[in-house]
């Protein structure tokens, strides 16, 4: 597209706006000037940089890397990395997205829009799993692992048999069942003419009656939020008082020599904990989410947080008498699946003992030790 | 005495009599001027009249009055699986004018708030360009800038109301919108800098957060009015709004305004990514779905009175107000009815009227204390008139989530309490 063409277009648009909306448009639309040959700002992107960031895939296969993966491998990966939110078969846990099933529901009163029932292109699945999943550990999968997970998602959507292998070679042969049910926005033709013209202003109807009321459903969080705000305010006031007491106590403690956790280590652990926060809560008010809440973990037996449904692997570890100490936490955090095989935590592990030490320091500082 | 907001009429109810007024010291409650005797707030010296307040060092970044602590964004926890991929809502019933304060602009993110040091942020342009480029924030700040006011509305705003009145508050039914003055570089200048090739027809903006948000946008729109913005209402973007830099796509659904913008690829076809196939497509009654429904249709809503902002002053002069906007132009006119649509009145527009910006309207009337059915109806500069919810359902069925711009009804009872209803 030529630069002079662009400038012409801009000029025409702003002129049209001035005519349409008079004074204010002038103030708002005073276009920044183009410069012939550009401003000479920025620098050329290197091929390595483009390769690192240009990860998008299109339906025509553009961007798809060489690789392959089969349903069986995909199932293992999916159960390990995805099932905590999406269920073992893509049926979904809680309000996380359902990935499989839903065929024949799009015309019903309760449409279930899954990869199989709704998504028009397989490339979208590959692109999205690769760019954003597993949740909280984006872009950690290898290309072959993505192929395998996509193959498994095709399998749970009854698109292929269990011996199927997906690769860049056969990728473009796959057509999604719902591809033809999408069409371009047609509101200009189907709606705009219906929704224009001078409407009635007087004696427009004879009577009016209420046909639906929101209060009957009672799903608005207003009162809850107000109560929470009240509680939070009371808590803040209490915390302020408490802080003063704690501070005073801390001063005394320092005098008596109490080696607290290394603040730098705790801070490092807090940063590392971001990878965990999509499933785990810690600190005041922490509750079980996709994973158990983590208060009072250090020094406690494995798998004892109340109300959390642990995997059989965790129950077995608990029954064997395992306790969370430096050694077991370090081993588990560095290799969750190796240390307690068959557990459901969708995390591949920290990279070093140093990271594990930081994480343990943070767990102890933020959540306290076993009571 | 509790200062906590309760969304009942008592919240701002007139506290009559001198005894109550003295007891109500230090509350934020608004009261109705009515003399039952000399007002001790006038006849007695108040602490703020006598003692010194905070100095200039106490509040280096100013915050709202402590009496406005209830004016906050709120979440509807049952809507989404987790707060890191969720949405909260702008308290429209507490705002006036057309500009949304930065701290009250609703948030929607897909992998939490990315915290990016501006010195470590990069914006890449690649694909069908003569020279793929990398910009730092400093580079971006050296391009000519523009200032423009635009609304950003999530396509799912009012999406919970397709099957009937559900959420009882304008914050929840209509709060996925904000209106901000942006400062930024026209995207056109950045694309010209890289030299867009002749076969280019689309761009793919991408976010730097852990969802790596992507959307396909036609090149024509990119070259027309999109901005690469780094300031909102005069100050740096808030982290939750994409600090240090976001895309502004005027009049089009909020999901396209990619935050934490790290890359723009230029291509010859759309990418059909997750947010434009699985999400942000509109399933119609017969099982087929519209795609690429980018423009936000004209819409309006009465913000006061509304369920969270009841009439507390009783009969007499009453200010009805609300906001209106259109993704295709300005809002020259809004009609208002207080009797459920038997009679309509032209509302009074007040404040600046910018293209693809929020507009403010008022309708002042003497309330006779009888129940009301309130509605507003926006007209945009193309002649489009905001439809009723039933008109929309006739065309689209009830399986859509996005683009519900139907007319909202509030029923107000004799006590001034308002409720989200539908009428027939």
Q: Does B377 touch chain A (CB under 8 A)?
A: yes
List Cα–Cα distances, B123 to A186, B140, B199, B227, B264, in angstroms: 34, 9, 23, 14, 8
- Quick one: tokens of B402? 């996005």
Residue from A166, A116, A174 nearest A145 by CA: A166
- Chain position carrying tokens 């009175």: B305
User: What's the mean pLDDT in B263-274?
Assistant: 98
CB-CB under 8 Å, B355 with A21: yes
Give the separation between CA B313 and CA B99, rounded to whole angstroms: 27
Query: What mean pLDDT value characterizes chain A?
Result: 83
Q: Quick check: A150 pLDDT over 90?
A: yes
% of chain B beyond a pLDDT of 90: 88
Higher pLDDT, A3 or A141: A141
What's the number of CA atoms in the CB half-sphere (13 Å) around residue B387? 19
CA A31, A35, A41, A44 torsion-angle sign: positive
Q: Quick check: B34 pLDDT over 80?
A: no
Query: What mean pLDDT value characterizes chain B?
Result: 92
Q: What is the pTM of this model?
A: 0.81
User: Where exactly are the structural domains of chain B?
Assistant: 9-68, 102-290, 299-421
- Quick one: tokens of B206? 């991408």
CB-CB under 8 Å, B262 with A53: yes
Which band of pLDDT confidence, cut at 50, 70 and 90, is reported for residue B365? very high
User: What's the mean pLDDT in A28-34?
Assistant: 81
Q: Quick check: A28 pLDDT over 60?
A: no
Mapped onto helix, strand or coil, the DSSP state of residue B169 is: coil
Which band of pLDDT confidence, cut at 50, 70 and 90, is reported for residue A313? confident
The CATH superfamily assigned to B102-290 is Oxidoreductase, molybdopterin-binding domain (3.90.420.10)
CATH fold for the domain made of B299-421? Immunoglobulin-like (2.60.40)
Among A268-272, A286-290, A317-321, the least confident range: A286-290
Among A241-250, B207-216, B371-380, the least confident range: A241-250
The CATH superfamily assigned to A48-181 is Cytochrome c-like domain (1.10.760.10)
Output the pLDDT for position B83: 79
CB-CB under 8 Å, A94 with B81: yes
pLDDT in tens, B237-266: 999 999 999 999 999 999 999 999 999 999
Same fold across A48-181 and A257-367: yes
pLDDT in tens, A152-205: 999 999 999 999 999 999 999 999 999 999 999 999 999 999 999 999 999 999
Q: Does A190 touch chain B (CB under 8 A)?
A: yes
pLDDT in tens, B168-220: 999 999 999 999 999 999 999 999 999 999 999 999 999 999 999 999 999 99
Q: Does A128 touch chain B (CB under 8 A)?
A: yes
Q: Does B10 touch chain A (CB under 8 A)?
A: no
CB-CB under 8 Å, B139 with A41: yes
Give the separation between CA A136 and CA B105, rounded to whole angstroms: 25
* DSSP 8-state symbol, B416: S
How near does any CA of chain B get to the CA of A58, in Å?
A: 5
How near does any CA of chain A get to the CA of B43, in Å?
A: 32
- Nearest-by-Cβ selection for B134 from A43, A120, A278: A43
- Nearest-by-Cβ selection for A34 from B189, B373, B411: B189
How near does any CA of chain B get to the CA of A10, in Å?
A: 7
**Chain A contacts of B10, Cβ < 8 Å?**
none
User: Where exactly are the structural domains of chain A?
Assistant: 1-42, 48-181, 257-367
Q: Quick check: A238 pLDDT over 80?
A: no
Searching chain B, which residue's CA lies closest to the CA of residue A97? B81
Q: Does B83 touch chain A (CB under 8 A)?
A: no
H-type helices in A105-217, by residue range?
122-132, 143-156, 187-190, 214-217
Give the separation between CA B86 and CA B72, rounded to whole angstroms: 16
Given a contact cutoff of 8 angstroms between Cβ atoms, the answer to whether B267 and B342 are in contact is: no
CB-CB under 8 Å, A135 with B111: yes
Given a contact cutoff of 8 angstroms between Cβ atoms, the answer to whether B387 and B326 are in contact is: no
pLDDT in tens, B293-341: 999 999 999 999 999 999 999 999 999 999 999 999 999 999 999 999 9
For the domain spanning A257-367, the CATH number is 1.10.760.10
Among A198-207, A323-332, B57-66, B206-215, the least confident range: A323-332
Output the pLDDT for position A319: 87
List Cα–Cα distances, B133 to A34, A182, B140, B188, B234, in angstroms: 17, 35, 12, 14, 28
**φ and ψ at A172, to 5 degrees?**
-75, -10
Q: Quick check: B148 pLDDT over 80?
A: yes
User: What's the mean pLDDT in B65-84?
Assistant: 89
């Amino acid at each position: 597209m030529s630069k002079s063409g662009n400038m012409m277009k801009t000029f025409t648009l702003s002129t049209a706006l001035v005519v349409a909306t008079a004074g204010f448009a002038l103030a708002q639309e005073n276009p920044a000037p183009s410069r012939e040959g550009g401003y000479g700002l920025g620098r050329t992107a290197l091929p390595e940089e483009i390769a690192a960031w240009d990860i998008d895939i299109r339906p025509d296969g553009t961007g798809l890397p060489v690789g392959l993966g089969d349903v069986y491998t995909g199932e293992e990966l999916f159960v390990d990395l995805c099932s905590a939110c999406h269920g073992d078969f893509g049926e979904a846990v809680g309000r996380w997205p359902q990935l499989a099933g839903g065929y024949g529901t799009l015309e019903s009163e309760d449409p279930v829009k899954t990869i199989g029932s709704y998504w028009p292109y397989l490339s979208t699945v590959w692109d999205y799993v690769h760019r954003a999943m597993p949740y909280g550990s984006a872009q950690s999968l290898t290309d072959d692992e993505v192929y395998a997970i996509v193959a498994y998602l095709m399998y749970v959507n009854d698109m292929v048999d269990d011996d199927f292998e997906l690769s860049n070679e056969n990728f473009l042969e796959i057509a999604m069942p719902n591809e033809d049910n999408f069409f371009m926005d047609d509101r200009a033709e189907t709606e705009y003419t219906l929704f224009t013209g001078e409407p009635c202003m007087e004696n427009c109807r004879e009577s009016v009656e209420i046909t639906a009321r929101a209060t009957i459903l009672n799903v608005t969080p207003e009162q809850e939020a107000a109560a929470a705000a009240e509680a939070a305010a009371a808590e803040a006031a209490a915390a302020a008082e408490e802080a003063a007491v704690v501070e005073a106590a801390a001063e005394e403690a320092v005098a008596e020599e109490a080696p607290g956790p290394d603040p730098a280590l705790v801070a490092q652990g807090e940063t590392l904990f971001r990878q965990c926060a999509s499933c785990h809560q810690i600190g005041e008010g922490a509750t079980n989410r996709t994973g158990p809440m983590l208060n009072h973990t250090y020094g406690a037996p494995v798998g004892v947080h109340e109300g959390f449904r642990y995997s059989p692997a965790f129950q077995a570890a608990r029954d064997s008498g395992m306790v969370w100490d430096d050694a077991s936490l370090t081993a588990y955090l560095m290799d969750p699946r190796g240390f307690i095989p068959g557990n459901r935590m969708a995390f591949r592990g920290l990279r070093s003992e140093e990271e594990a030490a930081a994480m343990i320091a943070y767990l102890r500082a933020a959540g306290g030790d076993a009571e | 005495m509790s200062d906590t907001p309760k969304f009942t009429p008592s919240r701002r109810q007139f506290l009559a009599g001198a005894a109550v007024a003295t007891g109500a010291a230090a509350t934020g409650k608004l009261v109705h001027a009515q003399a039952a005797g000399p007002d001790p707030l006038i006849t007695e010296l108040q602490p703020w009249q006598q003692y010194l307040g905070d100095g200039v060092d106490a509040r280096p970044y100013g915050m709202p009055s402590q009496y406005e602590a209830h004016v906050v964004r709120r979440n509807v926890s049952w809507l989404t699986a987790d707060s890191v991929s969720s949405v909260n809502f702008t308290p429209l019933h507490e705002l006036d004018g057309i500009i949304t304060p930065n701290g009250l602009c609703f948030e929607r993110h897909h992998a939490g708030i990315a915290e990016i040091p501006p010195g470590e942020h990069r914006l890449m342009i690649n694909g069908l360009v003569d020279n793929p480029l990398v910009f730092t924030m400093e580079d971006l700040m050296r391009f000519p800038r523009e200032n423009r006011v635009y609304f950003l509305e999530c396509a799912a705003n009012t999406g919970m109301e397709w099957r009937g009145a559900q959420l009882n508050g304008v914050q929840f039914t209509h709060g996925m919108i904000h209106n901000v003055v942006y400062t930024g570089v026209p995207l056109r200048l950045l694309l010209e800098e890289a030299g867009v090739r002749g076969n280019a027809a689309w761009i793919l903006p991408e976010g730097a957060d852990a969802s790596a948000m992507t959307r396909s946008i036609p090149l024509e729109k990119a070259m027309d009015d999109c901005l690469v913005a780094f300031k909102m209402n005069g100050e740096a973007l808030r982290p939750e709004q994409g600090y240090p830099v976001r895309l502004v796509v005027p009049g089009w659904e909020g999901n396209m305004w990619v935050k934490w913008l790290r890359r723009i690829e230029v291509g010859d076809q759309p990418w059909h990514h997750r947010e434009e196939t699985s999400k942000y497509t509109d399933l119609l009654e017969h099982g087929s779905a519209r795609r690429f429904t980018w423009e936000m249709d004209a819409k309006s809503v009465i913000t006061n009175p509304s369920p969270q902002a009841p009439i507390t002053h009783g009969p007499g002069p009453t200010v009805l107000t609300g906001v209106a906007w259109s993704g295709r132009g300005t809002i020259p006119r809004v009609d208002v009815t207080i009797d459920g649509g038997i009679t309509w009145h032209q509302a009074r527009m007040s404040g600046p009227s910018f293209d693809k910006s929020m507009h403010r309207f008022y309708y002042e009337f003497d309330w006779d204390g009888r129940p009301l059915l309130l509605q507003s109806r926006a007209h945009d500069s193309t002649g489009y008139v905001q439809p009723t919810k039933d008109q929309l359902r006739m065309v689209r069925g009830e399986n859509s989530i996005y683009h519900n711009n139907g007319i909202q009804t509030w029923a107000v009872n004799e006590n001034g309490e308002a409720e989200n209803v539908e009428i027939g």
